[in-house]
Amino acid sequence: MTNVLIVVDVQNDFTEGGPLGVKGGNLTATSITAFIRAHKSGYSRVIASRDWHSPDGDNGGHFAAKPDMVTTWPRHCVRGTTGSAYNPALESELIDVQVYKGDGSPAYSAFEGNTPGGASLHDVLRTAKASRIDIVGIATDHCVRATALDAVDKGYSVTVVADLCVGVDQVASIKAMAEMAAAGVHIGFSTDTR
């Protein structure tokens, strides 16, 4: 049984300057890279998810001209664009497996994505014999939350590394942390012993 790190959606469109850029996104990307460098030997896989939306249509109602910023959003992370690329502070060379999600539909959890070869995240984790998952990334109150809740639901031991995540809204992020903890997610910090 092994430990796996999942890096959620550390992309240009979700960091400062992007249409859905969160304050602290660039710093979070830098901190995640430093964390991976320091702890990579402790993980059998470092997996990163990316929003990868279709350039055509509204992606199942995910994009809207007048988004409500709850279930509809401005265009973001369209596949192949600069906005869909990893934030430059996240060193992609440190990533072992990439999972793409949201091509033609809304997708928040990394478990809704697939590798370029078509394997689901759950397939990748089973192949890696993962038992424990640490989760970092963007945004605490949306895709980190959805990924962590799905991971617990699938029977994994899950830790969200709180100081390596950043949310859209502070109040919503606090609520998301409480919801995750109530579901069995451990809320940890990068300074915890690994």
CB-based contact 140:173 (threshold 8 Å): yes
Residues of the chain with pLDDT under 70: 194
Given the residues 13, 51, 101, 141, select the one marked as catalytic: 101
Determine whether 101 is an active site residue: yes
Residue 194, in any domain of the structure: no
Residue 193, in any domain of the structure: no
Phi, then psi, of 101 in degrees rounded to 5: -140, 155
User: Cis omega before residue 139 (within 30°)?
Assistant: yes
Determine whether 134 is an active site residue: no
Residue 105, in any domain of the structure: yes
Give the whole-angstrom CA distance, residue 155 versus residue 118.
22
Residue 98, in any domain of the structure: yes
Domain CATH code at residue 148: 3.40.50.850
Range(s) of the domain holding residue 104: 2-188
pTM of the model: 0.96
The radius of gyration of the chain's CA atoms, rounded to the nearest angstrom, is 15
Residue 39, in any domain of the structure: yes
- So what's the pLDDT on residue 66? 94
**Pair of tokens at residue 28:** 């979070």
Residue 136, in any domain of the structure: yes
Number of domains present in the structure of the chain: 1
**Pair of tokens at residue 190:** 């990068």
Write out pLDDT tens, residues 79-135.
999 999 999 999 999 999 999 999 999 999 999 999 999 999 999 999 999 999 999
**Pair of tokens at residue 56:** 């055509």
- So what's the pLDDT on residue 194? 63
- So what's the pLDDT on residue 174? 97
The DSSP bridge pattern shows strands 45-51 and 97-101 to be: parallel
Determine whether 129 is an active site residue: no
- So what's the pLDDT on residue 193? 72
129-165 core/surface letters (b: 16 or more CB in 10 A; e: else): ebebbbbbbbbbbbbbbbbbbbbbeeebbbbbbbebb
DSSP states along 43-91: -SEEEEEEE-B-SSTTTTTTB-SS--SSS-B-S--BTTSGGGSBPTTS-
Given the residues 51, 77, 141, 143, select the one marked as catalytic: 143
